[in-house]
């Protein structure tokens, strides 16, 4: 008999969320490490930056494209198994780099293995944990877990840079591998796949938890079938289109080109990088606040507000760039940080509303569009800089795209009541 767990001091859902947060911290930190390895690898092996960047690009691409398949694997084999396997991949990819003698081995280790591992703990992982373990506070928990990605990068990237400088990149790679193994052990000991495995119902559930359907078919086929079915609904394309613009206007444009654009206007590189770090700090606050608001406000309204304000701020940015940091630039950094990934909790909520039990896999595909948008604008902005000598057209173009994302958001209709889908079997997945 499943108990409600009301007599417990801390509901097991919060322990699961805490371990998920630690795993997300690690995933963000591991994914960001190649940036601090680039110069040491170039100096030791003489590999061109373009070759080293190819490993980073593959890592970023797999970080997005792995997500829907990882969500399907979690539905088939459970959250704990898939997360532990992902951390083992990261440990292997990082640890094996110490034996590298050729550049293609870097692409395999940091591009393929670490990309697959971190992609398995992307935002679809957040959706899966929240949907299974929480009925109340879903928006808040989504915001906190999403903030884990930014927090991990902030905490560990400077530490990694110090380790590389003082002990070398090989020692740092082994530290990362060991840390991944320790996080995997924590997941193995604490994480549970379903509330019923801990003898409770989901947090905030009223009554006994219904038996959840476990997909028995091929996870890849399930992920592709889910994409096919979701693509029949306009809501999917509106969410994916908006999230592609989200990725383009954050990771693709600002994260990739802000330092270069600021340097074009005379700002020291270290100062510009510091401003990006401040954006990351306020990103944590903004995402948690957005999660809290998602529990109380129509998510369509939130998305429309976020995209509109982001677009307007990008229109203003070219006038703020200069050799020194003025108060107006500080205001932009704080505001843009609060808005950075605030779009995640309401997007998750709308996926849940429209796609129900398949929301985690669908959100995996929506998140893949985020990374595709980021990759596209990163290249386009570079071309703009080469052709026109500055980034102004890129900022204005991204601002217009954000206003388009606003239109997408307000166009998402309220989902009609639906019946629970039939379990996906191997036979049905192959049709």
Distance of CA 74 to the CA centre of its chain: 17
Dihedral (C-alpha) 426, 233, 194, 181: value to the nearest 10 degrees? 80
233 φ/ψ angles, rounded to the nearest 5 degrees = -105, 130
Using one digit for the tens of pLDDT, what is the confidence trace for 13-23?
A: 999 999 999 88
Q: Under DSSP, is residue 3 helix (H, G, I), strand (E, B) or coil?
A: strand
Q: Can you read off the two tokens belonging to residue 305?
A: 């507000």
pLDDT of residue 312: 94
Q: What is the mean pLDDT of the chain?
A: 83
Q: Could you give the count of Cα atoms lying within 13 Å of 398 in the half-sphere of its Cβ?
A: 34
197-224: average pLDDT: 70
Q: Can you read off the two tokens belonging to residue 143?
A: 């915001």
pLDDT of residue 423: 47
22 CB-contact burial (10 Å; exposed 0-12 / middle 13-18 / buried 19+):
middle
Q: Under DSSP, is residue 134 helix (H, G, I), strand (E, B) or coil?
A: strand
In the structure, what pLDDT confidence band is assigned to residue 351 with cuts at 50, 70 and 90? very high
User: Does the pLDDT at position 377 exceed 80?
Assistant: yes
Question: Comparing 110-119, 252-261, 318-327, which segment has the lowest mean pLDDT?
Answer: 252-261
pLDDT of residue 417: 62
157-177: average pLDDT: 83
- 257 vs 233 pLDDT, higher one: 233
Q: Rounded to an integer, what distance in angstroms lies between the CA atom of residue 142 and that of residue 120?
A: 17
Q: Rounded to an integer, what distance in angstroms lies between the CA atom of residue 394 and that of residue 224?
A: 34
pLDDT of residue 216: 58
Identical fold for domains 12-198 and 219-410, yes or no, is yes
219-410 folds as Growth Hormone; Chain: A; (1.20.1250)
User: Does the pLDDT at position 292 exceed 70?
Assistant: yes
Q: Rounded to an integer, what distance in angstroms lies between the CA atom of residue 297 and that of residue 295?
A: 6
Q: How many residues does the chain have?
A: 431
Using one digit for the tens of pLDDT, what is the confidence trace for 410-419?
A: 999 887 665 5
Q: Rounded to an integer, what distance in angstroms lies between the CA atom of residue 333 and that of residue 316?
A: 12
User: Does the pLDDT at position 84 exceed 60?
Assistant: yes
Q: What is the CA radius of gyration of the chain?
A: 21
Which residues touch 368 (CB under 8 Å, ≥6 apart)?
A: 64, 65, 67, 68
Question: What are the residue boundaries of the structural domains of the chain, listed by start?
Answer: 12-198, 219-410
Q: Can you read off the two tokens belonging to residue 412?
A: 């998402």
pLDDT of residue 148: 76
Question: Comparing 6-15, 88-97, 263-272, 304-313, which segment has the lowest mean pLDDT?
Answer: 6-15
Q: Rounded to an integer, what distance in angstroms lies between the CA atom of residue 276 and that of residue 267?
A: 13
User: Does the pLDDT at position 391 exceed 70?
Assistant: yes
pLDDT of residue 207: 61
Q: Rounded to an integer, what distance in angstroms lies between the CA atom of residue 149 and that of residue 28?
A: 5
Q: Can you read off the two tokens belonging to residue 365?
A: 């595909």
In the structure, what pLDDT confidence band is assigned to residue 298 with cuts at 50, 70 and 90? very high
User: Does the pLDDT at position 383 exceed 50?
Assistant: yes
72-86: average pLDDT: 88
User: Does the pLDDT at position 138 exceed 70?
Assistant: yes
Q: Can you read off the two tokens belonging to residue 226?
A: 């889910």
pLDDT of residue 393: 94
**Is-above-0.75 flag for pTM?**
no
276 φ/ψ angles, rounded to the nearest 5 degrees = -65, -40
Q: Give the Cβ contact number of residue 317 at 10 Å.
A: 22
315-343: average pLDDT: 90
The closest alpha carbon to 381, from 257, 243, 276, 250, belongs to 257
pLDDT of residue 115: 87
268-273: average pLDDT: 77
User: Does the pLDDT at position 7 exceed 90?
Assistant: no
User: Does the pLDDT at position 172 exceed 50?
Assistant: yes
User: Does the pLDDT at position 275 exceed 60?
Assistant: yes
12-198 folds as Growth Hormone; Chain: A; (1.20.1250)
Q: Rounded to an integer, what distance in angstroms lies between the CA atom of residue 245 and that of residue 399?
A: 10
pLDDT of residue 128: 85
Question: Comparing 216-220, 279-283, 424-428, which segment has the lowest mean pLDDT?
Answer: 424-428
User: Does the pLDDT at position 392 exceed 50?
Assistant: yes
Q: How many helices (H) and strands (E) does the chain have?
A: 19, 0
- 45 vs 274 pLDDT, higher one: 45
Which residues touch 209 (CB under 8 Å, ≥6 apart)?
A: 2, 194, 195, 196, 201, 202
Instruction: List residues bridging with 23 in a β-sheet.
Output: none
184-202: average pLDDT: 88
Q: Can you read off the two tokens belonging to residue 288?
A: 């948690």
Range among 53-62, 272-281, 306-315, 418-427 with highest mean pLDDT value: 306-315
DSSP assignment letter at 9: S
């Amino acid at each position: 008999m499943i108990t409600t767990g009301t007599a417990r001091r801390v509901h097991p859902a919060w322990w699961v969320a805490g371990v998920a947060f630690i795993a997300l911290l690690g995933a963000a930190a591991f994914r960001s490490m190649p940036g601090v390895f680039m110069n040491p690898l170039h100096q030791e092996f003489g590999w061109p930056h373009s070759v080293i960047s190819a490993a980073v690009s593959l890592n970023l691409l797999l970080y997005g494209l792995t997500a829907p398949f990882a969500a399907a694997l979690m539905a088939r084999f459970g959250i704990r198994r898939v997360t532990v396997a992902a951390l083992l991949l990261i440990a292997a990819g990082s640890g094996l780099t110490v034996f590298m003698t050729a550049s293609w081995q870097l692409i395999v280790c940091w591009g393929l293995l670490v990309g697959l591992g971190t992609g398995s703990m992307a935002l679809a992982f957040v959706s899966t944990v929240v949907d299974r373990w929480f009925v109340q506070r879903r928006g808040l928990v989504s915001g906190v877990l999403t903030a884990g990605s930014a927090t991990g990068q902030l905490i560990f990237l400077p530490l990694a840079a110090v380790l590389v400088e003082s002990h070398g990149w090989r020692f740092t790679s082994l530290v990362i591998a060991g840390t991944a193994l320790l996080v995997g052990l924590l997941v193995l000991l604490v994480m549970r796949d379903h509330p019923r495995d801990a003898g409770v119902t989901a947090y905030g559930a009223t009554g006994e938890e219904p038996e959840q359907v476990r997909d028995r078919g091929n996870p890849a086929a399930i992920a592709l079938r889910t994409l096919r079915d979701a693509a029949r609904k306009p809501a999917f394309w509106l969410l994916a289109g908006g999230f592609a613009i989200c990725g383009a206007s954050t990771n693709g444009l600002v994260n990739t080109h802000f330092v270069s654009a600021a340097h074009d206007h005379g700002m020291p590189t270290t100062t510009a990088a510091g401003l990006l770090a401040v954006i990351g700090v306020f990103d944590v606050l903004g995402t948690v606040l957005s999660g809290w608001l998602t529990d109380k406000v129509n998510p369509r309204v939130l998305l429309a507000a976020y995209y509109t304000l982001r677009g307007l701020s990008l229109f203003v940015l070219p006038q703020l760039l200069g050799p020194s940091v003025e108060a107006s630039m500080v205001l932009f950094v704080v505001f843009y940080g609060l808005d950075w990934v605030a779009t995640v909790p309401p997007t998750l909520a709308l996926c849940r509303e429209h796609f129900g039990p398949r929301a985690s896999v669908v959100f995996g595909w929506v998140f893949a569009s985020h990374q595709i948008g980021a990759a596209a604008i990163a290249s386009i902005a570079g071309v703009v800089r080469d052709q026109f000598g500055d980034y102004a057209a890129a900022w204005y173009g991204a601002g217009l795209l954000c206003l388009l994302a606003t239109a997408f958001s307000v166009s998402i209709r309220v989902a009609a009541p639906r019946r629970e889908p039939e379990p996906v079997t191997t036979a049905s997945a192959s049709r």
